Amino acid sequence: MRADIGAKGWRTSPDELRNRIAEAIGECCGHLGLKCFRLAEGWTVAAAITHFHRMCDRAGLKRRGLTERSWRQWEAGDRPSRDYEDLLCRLFRTGPVHLGFASDYTFRPSSEGRGVLVPRQRGPVQLGGPSLAAGRPSPMLAPGNSGMTAAEAIAAAARESAHFTQYAGRTNVGPHTLEQLDADLRNLIKAYPGRPVYPTFLELVELRNSDFELLEGRQYPAQSRDLYLVAGVTCGVMSNASFDLGHMQAAATQARTAYLCAELSGSEWLRTWVRGMQSLIAYWGDHFEEAVAFASSVRGHAAAQGSATVRLASIEARARARLGDAEGVETALEAAANARESALHPDEYAGMMAFPVEKQLFYGSTCQVWLGGEARLRRAAQDASRAVSMFEQAPLRQRRVGEMCLARLDLAAARLGSGELDGAAEQVRAVFAEAANRRTDSVRRRLTQVRDQLEAPRVKTSPLAASLSDEIIEFCAPSPPAVTEGHSS
């Protein structure tokens, strides 16, 4: 090609020569612009990435984690981020239109002399000037854009459509990709209650990043919906993990992302679960009216969504208890009971995302503790005691330790309210033992609330109350940054 240019007497700069070679490749092979430019430079994908990094170094720019996989996806038609698009334009010293990342709406005269706007679409590169593939019609056509005959235009249009089918039929999701992502996610969800949170959180980050990378590429619509579901569930569990580790703002951010993914995937179950997570975050942040608002926002869509519906109503009941709304509490608890009875199918994801009966019981006990009164405290003690017994029956490695601790603290609070200091101390010290290596933020907060009860006049002067209060302070002291903890909510 270079010899052909020399024979024709064209005077060209190296960049112009490279551009014409890229155009010829595009017209001959139908590749998108980025691949045409790479081939015109004579680079393999690996060599192109090496030149990319050298360019960043020369310009004093931060190196990117560019991979061959991402580069090949761009050449197949995926759109790079704006940052990468800018860097690729720098690398090839050209613009996004020529690399196939944008359309060109240059004003061009038609064959009848009228000016028309002809969009140059993302596709094979066209740079203008003498063509090395003379005689071949441009793959990108528009009315009045050439002097072709009708037959030539129809044939060229057919080639365009054929090129589109090659592009539209591509998918970056292999036959086992979704299956593996889903299996990895289910394993993490199942193991979550019995593992330290932070290492699990890091695994979730890796899984989420893999999912996001796939979503940045191209796949069939049904595959996109499945990927959004996996992304939404993953972000939902990351929200719970951030919450367990005491990072409430991060938890709220993850929950918002999870809710968007739920809408994009069309999963009512996930929408219901995430709204419950957002309500829970608001509840533990002492924003009780906001917690009620989150819970009620999907009430009309939450029917028959497995235990997620039970969870949503139970969280609302706890928030209403903190507002002193006894009637609202009973209405919400009744709604939770009805949802349990009418659940038509199991949860899409079980493990820590499920809301078992024992958890429903201690949510109810929490409501009765906050509403107070002798009869309600007795009811709270009964429900919390049943919940603890049910949690203890689970195999040790599957035991929901954080939730069991919260149930114990409800039982302790109910006993304190009835003046049973010894019984309360027994439950609090059991929490110290069970949660020694899993000090979730909600357990710390609940212990602090129990400590406030120890200041009540009827028990404050007791040596046991003073000792227990000191033990709670010591247990709730900030942990070293490296310590990782477990599940609650």
Q: Which helix (H) or strand (E) holds 115?
A: strand 115-117
* Most confident listed range (4-18, 52-66, 227-241, 297-311): 227-241
pLDDT at position 196? 85
Residues with Cβ within 8 Å of 463's Cβ and at least 6 positions away in sequence, in order, are: none
**357 has a pLDDT exceeding 50:** yes
pLDDT at position 83? 86
The answer as to whether 439 is a domain residue is: yes
What 3-state class would DSSP assign to 104? strand
Locate all alpha helices (DSSP H) within 343-420, ordered by sequence.
357-371, 374-392, 401-417
Question: Domain boundary residue among 134, 168, 202?
Answer: 168
**pLDDT bracket for residue 130 (50, 70, 90):** very low
Question: Domain boundary residue among 145, 168, 191?
Answer: 168
Which amino acid, residue 433?
Answer: A
pLDDT at position 81? 85
Query: How large is the average pLDDT for residues 479-489?
Result: 48
Instruction: Pick the more confident residue, 350 or 370.
Output: 370
Please tell me the total number of residues recorded for the chain in this structure.
489
**pLDDT bracket for residue 106 (50, 70, 90):** low
pLDDT at position 134? 38
pLDDT at position 133? 39
| 257-280: pLDDT as tens digits | 999 999 999 999 999 999 999 999
Q: Which residues of 355-379 are buried (b: 16+ CB within 10 A; e: fewer)?
A: bbebbbbbbbbbbbbbbeeeebbeb
Question: Domain boundary residue among 101, 133, 168?
Answer: 168
Query: How large is the average pLDDT for residues 70-83?
Result: 85
Beta carbons of 280 and 315 less than 8 angstroms apart: yes
Q: What is the mean pLDDT of the chain?
A: 85
Instruction: Pick the more confident residue, 148 or 182.
Output: 182
CA distances from 133 to 1, 6, 21, 217, 221 (A): 10, 15, 10, 32, 37
Any idea what DSSP says for residue 139? S
pLDDT at position 348? 85
The answer as to whether 343 is a domain residue is: no
pLDDT at position 478? 78
Query: How large is the average pLDDT for residues 395-422?
Result: 92
Residue range(s) defining the domain that contains residue 475 = 356-489
Instruction: Pick the more confident residue, 434 or 144.
Output: 434
Task: Please state the domain count of the chain.
Answer: 2
Query: How large is the average pLDDT for residues 348-368?
Result: 93
**pLDDT bracket for residue 467 (50, 70, 90):** very high
Query: How large is the average pLDDT for residues 226-242?
Result: 97
The answer as to whether 307 is a domain residue is: no
**Of the listed ranges 9-18, 186-195, 236-245, the one predicted with least confidence:** 9-18
pLDDT at position 118? 44
pLDDT at position 252? 96
Query: What are phi and psi for residue 123, nearest 5 degrees?
Result: 180, -155
Beta carbons of 384 and 421 less than 8 angstroms apart: no
Euclidean distance between CA atoms 448 and 450, whole angstroms: 5
Query: How large is the average pLDDT for residues 233-240?
Result: 98
**377 has a pLDDT exceeding 50:** yes
Euclidean distance between CA atoms 300 and 297, whole angstroms: 8
Euclidean distance between CA atoms 247 and 252, whole angstroms: 9
Any idea what DSSP says for residue 107? E
**345 has a pLDDT exceeding 80:** no
CA distances from 375 to 323, 382, 399, 467 (A): 19, 11, 30, 29
Query: How large is the average pLDDT for residues 307-322?
Result: 95
Give the CATH number, domain containing residue 431: 1.25.40
**235 has a pLDDT exceeding 70:** yes
**143 has a pLDDT exceeding 80:** no
The answer as to whether 367 is a domain residue is: yes
pLDDT at position 321? 97
pLDDT at position 250? 96
Beta carbons of 241 and 277 less than 8 angstroms apart: no
**246 has a pLDDT exceeding 60:** yes
**132 has a pLDDT exceeding 70:** no
pLDDT at position 367? 97
The answer as to whether 60 is a domain residue is: yes
Euclidean distance between CA atoms 401 and 420, whole angstroms: 24
For residue 301 the two structure tokens come to: 């869509």
The answer as to whether 163 is a domain residue is: yes
pLDDT at position 195? 84
Query: How large is the average pLDDT for residues 481-486?
Result: 44
Neighbours of 445 (CB within 10 A): 17
| 150-207: pLDDT as tens digits | 887 888 788 777 767 666 667 888 878 999 999 999 999 998 988 888 999 999 999 9
The answer as to whether 37 is a domain residue is: yes
Instruction: Pick the more confident residue, 58 or 111.
Output: 58
**pLDDT bracket for residue 483 (50, 70, 90):** very low
The answer as to whether 188 is a domain residue is: no
Beta carbons of 21 and 132 less than 8 angstroms apart: yes
pLDDT at position 381? 96
Beta strands in 225-353 (DSSP E): none
pLDDT at position 138? 46
Query: What are phi and psi for residue 434, nearest 5 degrees?
Result: -75, -30
Euclidean distance between CA atoms 145 and 128, whole angstroms: 13
